[in-house]
Structures are given as structure tokens and as C-alpha cells.
Structure 1
């Protein structure tokens, strides 16, 4: 009887340890933190959206288009920077029209979203749109680095999305 109890204890203890180890591997590989495989695969789809190619005639693309998956917040992203060679108002008017024509719905507008002194920047998008994309909701932000005290000669477009709904402008 003692042999049977010892064998049961070893089997149950070993199975419990295997479950704990498997749970740890799952959590460390993105189960609780980071990007899911679906969101990692979503980034190239976002990078191919035509809205990222749209820009006023006076502006010029800068650098290469970027994309990836934000490991901290667990969402896919893609974006493009442009050289600001027209007024901010013209840029905002252009994207209101171009985004609507491409099926994006305006979710929010704050033409001058600079954070208050000594506060954290919560939302720096001057315009925020959303539309369905690849089985989830994509968010398009038009933003100006100068609102954060950086590069007054640029503006950016960024699209974010996540299959678990954690993306935003």
C-alpha cells in the first residue's frame, strides 16, 4: 500500500510540475505578455494599407515605412513619416478627406494635442480614425512630433491593430 501511495504522489507531483513548467513557457512566449503570433502576422498587412501612401502633393515621404509588433502593449503597427512642407491645417484637411474616401471613420480630432507641462502624453494624435482590417479594428493616427517637442518639420501616420482589442490611436 505504501508503494502505491508513493507512486501516486510521484505521478501527481511530476504532472503538477510539468503543468507549472508548461504554463511558464506559455506565459514567457507571449501568452500573458507581448505580441501574439496573429498580431505579429498582422504587421505586414497594416504596412500594405494604401492610406500610408496618401499624402498632400507638397509633402515628401521620409525614411522607409516601418512596421512591427509592440511587445509592451501587444499590438501590431505600421507607419510612415513625411516631411512637413505645407501647413498643419492643410495636412489635417487632406487626411480628413483621404481617410474618409478610403473607408476610415473619424473617431477623434484634437488639432493641437500637446501634453500639459510636466504631464505624460496620453494621446498625441491630431486625428484618429478607425476601420475594419484583417478581422479586427485598425486605428489610424495622424500626429506631429512637434507636439512632443521633437522635429517640427515632420508629421507621421501610424496604423495600429490587435486581435485582442488592445490597439488605439
Structure 2
């Protein structure tokens, strides 16, 4: 009888270790961190949005449109940089109109979204819009790298979305 109890204990213990090991492999391979397959598949949809083609006539696209999935925060993104050859006010006025006409709803606007000195940048978008895209809520940000101390001659558009709802401007 003792042999049967020991065998049962060994089997239960081995099964428990296997479950813990499998859970660890799952967590390290993206189960608790990184992008889901659904979010990775969402990135090309975001990159094809026509709003990323819209820009004031005085501005020009800089570089290629980019897209991907943010592994740290687990959301899909797509964006485009533009050369800033008109006033910031003109850019913001243009996108308030263009985004609204494209079905985006303004969520917030900030005249000076720069983070306070010594603080972390959480939301540096000058304009933030929302719109349903492919069954989830997408966020469109109009932002200026100069608000972070970079590239005073550029501005950017970026769309983010996530199947689990963790995306933001």
C-alpha cells in the first residue's frame, strides 16, 4: 500500500511540475507579454488607412509609412512622418477637419502636450481621435517630435489599436 501512495505522490508531483513548466513557457512566449497574433494581423489594416495619406498641401511625407506591433505594450500601430513646412496651427486645423470627415471622433486636444521636465512622456499627442476599425477601437494621434525635444521640422500621424483594448494615443 505504501508503494501505491508513493507512486501516486510522484505522479501528482510530476504533473504539477509539468503544468508549472508549461505555464512558464506560455508566459515567456507572449502569453502575458507582447503582441497577440490578432494584433500582429491588425497592423497591415492600420497601415492601409486613408487618413495616413492625408496631409496639408504644403507638407510632404518623410520616409516610408511604418507599421508593426509594440511588443512592450501589445498593440498594433501604423504611422507616417511629414516635413513641417507650414505652421503647427495649420497642421492641427487641417487634421481636425480631415479626420472628422473620415469618421474619426476627437477625444482630446492639447496645445502643449510636452511632458513636464523630468517626467515620463505618457501622451504627447496634440490631437487624439477614435474610430472603430476592424472590430476594435483605433486611436489616431497627431503629434510633433519637437514636443519631446526632437526634429522641430517634422510632425507625425500614428494609428494604434489592440484587440484587448490596451491601445491609446
The TM-score with structure 1 as length reference comes to 0.96
**Where do residues 37-116 of structure 1 align in structure 2 (5 Å cutoff)?**
37-116=37-116
Structure 2: distance between partners of 1:28 and 1:42: 22
What SS is found at the alignment partner of 2:131?
Answer: strand
Unaligned runs of 5+ in 2: none
Q: Match of 2:35?
A: 35
The TM-score with structure 2 as length reference comes to 0.96
Q: Is 2:123 the counterpart of 1:147?
A: no
Structure 2: distance between partners of 1:118 and 1:80: 28
Give me the CA root mean square deviation: 1.0
What SS is found at the alignment partner of 1:28?
Answer: helix
Give, in angstroms, the shift of residue 117 of structure 1: 2.1
Aligned residue pairs total: 169
Q: Is 2:137 the counterpart of 1:137?
A: yes
Structure 1: distance between partners of 2:155 and 2:58: 13
Q: Deviations over 1:53-101 (max 9, x none)?
A: 1111111001111111111111111110000111111100110011011
Give, in angstroms, the shift of residue 122 of structure 1: 2.0
Q: Deviations over 1:132-160 (max 9, x none)?
A: 01111000000000111110100000011
Unaligned runs of 5+ in 1: none
Give, in angstroms, the shift of residue 111 of structure 1: 2.3
